[in-house]
Chains A and B, each alone.
Chain A
Amino acid sequence: MNIKQIAKAAGVSVATVSRVLNHPETVAPATREKIQKIIEEEEYTPNWFAQGLNFNRTKTTGVIVPHMMTPMYMELVSGIEEVARPKGYITFLCNVERDPKMEKEYVEQLMTRKVDGIILMSSALEEKYITMIQKEKIPVVLIGESIAANRFNSVNVDCRASAVEMVAHLVEVGHRTIALLKGHDPHHETEEMSLGYQNVLRANGIPVDRKWIMDVENTIEGGYIGMKRMLAAGAPDAIFCTSDEIAYGAMEALKDSGMSIPEDVAVAGFGNNRMSNLIEPKLTTVELPYRKMGIYGARILFDLIEGETDSRDPRHILLQSRLRIRRSCGHQERIGEMF
């Protein structure tokens, strides 16, 4: 059945059916219920393409994903879809392999395809480029920290504060020589974590020693190689890794070198991937609310697409991270694991 047949069956005009679908509050309750009943019985779904022509919408959004193989980004995407799907939207996923050039190419592709809005995750794009997208009347939301996050609609977690909490916990447990395995990306977030790490050391009178800071690729392999290289010069008491993947690699390298975790070296990660609770010893890490970041990214985007926002200022949502204390950091108190 199409919209004309629904209208005929209900004895109303096509415009009234259309209003029930798009602005139900404008239709008298009795009429609305009657039409909705027929729509449900006939399992009628509107023709989104035709609707897009009417409203100048394509019912599509684009999501730029830095790296598809990183599980956290998939959690983010599932949060986005949780909001987008009930609205009848399809999401284009664009995997840019941490390549800023590819990111630009994909954004251009999305614009050519007339998406209704774009979500950029941990974007490497410059401010003027994002402004250019917005000038084309395509709403943009940034998820994760980037250089331009403050000036656009964004959803963030304070990475520096989260790193401070993590490193402070390592100090509290009793570790003094605390190393940093620092991933190359996402660049801005990692730099923030690094600053947080250094602040805690200084605040506790622990010198910041370059020997204990190692730049690595943000992968399991990167963590493994970085740890091996660091161990050649000696072993720290504890290691803070800027991602859980790096931590998995570091743990593997420590085990291969005959060391026990946390007795010889304690390990802490960042992100709380699903696996971090399954490996042994279970990884102490910072839980980031990925799914929720996706949900809020999509919420803000749809508010913009649907003209639901009153303010012209960019909207910023800051979400909270949380320490997940487990065995790998060498803490003894059970209560820390429970809360």
Chain B
Amino acid sequence: MLATDYLGLDLKNPLIIAAGPWNRDGKALKESIAAGAGAVVTESIVSDTLLDVRPRIACDERGAQNIRLYSDIQIEGWEREIEIAKSEGGVVIASIFAHTPSELAYMASKLEKFGADAIELSVSNPMAESLEILASHADTIFDMTQAVVQAVRIPVIVKLTQNTTNISKVAKAAKAAGASGVSAINTVRGILGIDLETAKPTLSTYGGISGDYIRPLGLASVATILQTVDVPVSGIGGISRGNHALEYIMLGASTVQVGTAVMLSGKEIIPVILGEMTDWLKEHGFRNIGQIRGQALKNMKSFDEMRFEPAVSTVTGVACKENCSRCINGCMYGAISRRSGTVNVDRQKCMGCGLCTSICPAGKLSLGL
């Protein structure tokens, strides 16, 4: 039901475990595969394996911030790690990070020899690299991708960032240079919060934000890329439940990647997400995941296509007598009020913005003609 063809790789499902320390060596990758992942991406492999700063990860209930998460194993060591990872089967994608085309090409060719099934260029990390993230420039991405594509025979995937003015342009450059696919999005530069008592940020410098915070950004990026470039996309950003994964796939993503959820909940979450995906598809009468892929992308409209109807809000069903004023407080047009204990909408004042329909915890309000 979940089987997916991704860049010519037969995946048993579209759930890929993203690059990160939860995939830091062969053993960890093998665990991700054993938990049911369709494929796994190594922690980003670099040539300057510096000591990592401490602390470097923080989280709250909506997501996480990390400062620098690169592999501490040199390329030479990955020969053995990939062998361990694949010892009982599984698809392993090697994530690499460097600053120049020739270096990336060298790393990619080595990892191909070591048995990697694909390469993911992770040149979009927002952490401590420079104010301008490498992957925000289409021409840089073109040069890097081209060098790597020429160096290997396996598929090359470029991981893109939201920290750019035009992600479509960067995706086009990746495709023009020969990339087989793109992943979107990497973490987004941010500061998780400030401790008011000590006047200190949660972590001592800027970092990459992940988790629920960035899911809307990931969804928009995936949609934008798929509306403009004919390239397979792996959707990333804030996936911790089956429905999140299905949202990305409904927008057209070929596969999805989960990272922060694995970090915060452990690898047990992998079969949970897969189970939720399968259950939803079954309940809705689908036989395979391909049937829903891209269905929501068709429903993305331009302003020109939107119909301007005189829709207004109404209370549906029995009159609302809840002791709650969220719709009243939330109505910027003063159209909602309480009269003799029930909630009423003034059809003359209502401008049809729709906020009350999503603010009402009981789902009592809806827009209609």
Which single residue of chain B is at the shortest CB-CB distance from A300? Answer: B106
CB distance from B341 to the nearest CB of A (A): 57
Contact A335 B74 (CB under 8 A): no
CB distance from A297 to the nearest CB of B (A): 12
Q: A83-B76, A320-B99, A338-B206 are in contact. Are A296 and B128 (CB under 8 A)?
A: no
Contact B100 A318 (CB under 8 A): yes
Measured in the bound complex, the distance between the Cα atoms of B101 and A238 in whole Å is 34
Contact A319 B130 (CB under 8 A): no
Which chain A positions have C-beta within 8 A of B74? 82-83, 295
Contact B131 A319 (CB under 8 A): no
Which chain A positions have C-beta within 8 A of B166? none
Measured in the bound complex, the distance between the Cα atoms of B205 and A338 in whole Å is 8
Which single residue of chain B is at the shortest CB-CB distance from A302? Answer: B76
Contact B47 A339 (CB under 8 A): no
Which single residue of chain B is at the shortest CB-CB distance from A86? Answer: B76
Q: Is A208 an interface residue (CB 8 A)?
A: no
Contact B129 A296 (CB under 8 A): no
Which chain B positions have C-beta within 8 A of A319? 99-100, 103
Q: Is B102 an interface residue (CB 8 A)?
A: yes
Q: Is A291 an interface residue (CB 8 A)?
A: yes
Q: A292-B48, A338-B206, A339-B130 are in contact. Are A320 and B106 (CB under 8 A)?
A: no
CB distance from A331 to the nearest CB of B (A): 14
Measured in the bound complex, the distance between the Cα atoms of B47 and A279 in whole Å is 28
Interface size on A, residues (CB 8 A): 20
Q: A86-B76, A320-B100 are in contact. Are A339 and B131 (CB under 8 A)?
A: yes
Q: Is A317 an interface residue (CB 8 A)?
A: yes
CB distance from A27 to the nearest CB of B (A): 14
Which chain A positions have C-beta within 8 A of B113? 308
Classify the interface of chain B: helix, strand, loop or mixed.
loop
Contact A317 B106 (CB under 8 A): yes
Which single residue of chain B is at the shortest CB-CB distance from A87? Answer: B76
CB distance from B78 to the nearest CB of A (A): 13
Q: Is A299 an interface residue (CB 8 A)?
A: yes
Which has the most chain B C-beta neighbours within 10 Å: A289, A291, A316, A317?
Answer: A317
A262-307 residues at the B interface, CB under 8 angstroms: 289, 291-292, 295-296, 299
Measured in the bound complex, the distance between the Cα atoms of B129 and A316 in whole Å is 24
CB distance from A296 to the nearest CB of B (A): 7
Which chain B positions have C-beta within 8 A of A291? 48
Which chain B positions have C-beta within 8 A of A295? 47, 74
Which chain B positions have C-beta within 8 A of A316? 102
Contact B48 A317 (CB under 8 A): no
Which chain A positions have C-beta within 8 A of B99? 319-320
A312-339 residues at the B interface, CB under 8 angstroms: 315-320, 322, 335, 338-339
CB distance from B345 to the nearest CB of A (A): 49
Which single residue of chain B is at the shortest CB-CB distance from A83? Answer: B76
Which single residue of chain A is at the shortest CB-CB distance from B113? Answer: A308
CB distance from B70 to the nearest CB of A (A): 13
CB distance from A220 to the nearest CB of B (A): 27
0/1 per residue, B84-112, Cβ < 8 Å to A? Answer: 00000000000000011111001000000
Measured in the bound complex, the distance between the Cα atoms of B99 and A292 in whole Å is 12
CB distance from A12 to the nearest CB of B (A): 22
Which chain A positions have C-beta within 8 A of B206? 338
Which chain B positions have C-beta within 8 A of A289? 48
B194-218 residues at the A interface, CB under 8 angstroms: 205-206
CB distance from A338 to the nearest CB of B (A): 7
Measured in the bound complex, the distance between the Cα atoms of B76 and A291 in whole Å is 16
Which chain B positions have C-beta within 8 A of A82? 74
Which chain B positions have C-beta within 8 A of A338? 128, 205-206
CB distance from B73 to the nearest CB of A (A): 12
Which chain A positions have C-beta within 8 A of B128? 338-339
Contact B100 A296 (CB under 8 A): no
Measured in the bound complex, the distance between the Cα atoms of B75 and A318 in whole Å is 18
Which chain B positions have C-beta within 8 A of A86? 76
CB distance from B83 to the nearest CB of A (A): 9
Which chain A positions have C-beta within 8 A of B48? 289, 291-292
CB distance from A157 to the nearest CB of B (A): 9
Measured in the bound complex, the distance between the Cα atoms of B74 and A86 in whole Å is 11
Measured in the bound complex, the distance between the Cα atoms of B100 and A316 in whole Å is 11
CB distance from A22 to the nearest CB of B (A): 15
Q: A82-B74, A319-B99 are in contact. Are A296 and B106 (CB under 8 A)?
A: yes
Measured in the bound complex, the distance between the Cα atoms of B235 and A336 in whole Å is 33
Measured in the bound complex, the distance between the Cα atoms of B146 and A166 in whole Å is 28
Which chain A positions have C-beta within 8 A of B131? 335, 339
Measured in the bound complex, the distance between the Cα atoms of B47 and A339 in whole Å is 19
CB distance from B140 to the nearest CB of A (A): 11
Measured in the bound complex, the distance between the Cα atoms of B74 and A299 in whole Å is 11
Measured in the bound complex, the distance between the Cα atoms of B48 and A322 in whole Å is 14
Measured in the bound complex, the distance between the Cα atoms of B75 and A317 in whole Å is 16
Which chain A positions have C-beta within 8 A of B106? 296, 299, 315, 317
Which single residue of chain A is at the shortest CB-CB distance from B127? Answer: A339
CB distance from A150 to the nearest CB of B (A): 13
Which chain B positions have C-beta within 8 A of A339? 128-131
Contact A292 B47 (CB under 8 A): yes
| Among candidates A296, A318, A322, residue contacting B47 with C-beta atoms closer than 8 Å | A296
Contact B130 A318 (CB under 8 A): no
Measured in the bound complex, the distance between the Cα atoms of B113 and A21 in whole Å is 20
Having A296-B103, A339-B130, one finds 19 other A-B pairs with CB under 8 Å, namely A83-B74, A289-B48, A291-B48, A296-B106, A299-B75, A299-B106, A315-B106, A318-B100, A318-B101, A318-B102, A319-B99, A319-B100, A319-B103, A320-B100, A322-B130, A335-B131, A338-B128, A338-B205, A339-B131
29 contacts between A and B (CB under 8 A): A82-B74, A83-B74, A86-B76, A289-B48, A291-B48, A292-B47, A292-B48, A295-B47, A295-B74, A296-B47, A296-B103, A299-B106, A308-B113, A315-B106, A316-B102, A317-B103, A317-B106, A318-B101, A318-B102, A319-B99, A319-B103, A320-B99, A322-B130, A335-B131, A338-B128, A338-B206, A339-B128, A339-B130, A339-B131
> Which residue numbers of B lie inside 8 Å of A, CB to CB?
47-48, 74-76, 99-103, 106, 113, 128-131, 205-206
In the A-B complex, the 4 residue pairs with the smallest Cβ-Cβ separation, listed nearest first, are A320-B99, A317-B102, A339-B131, A318-B102
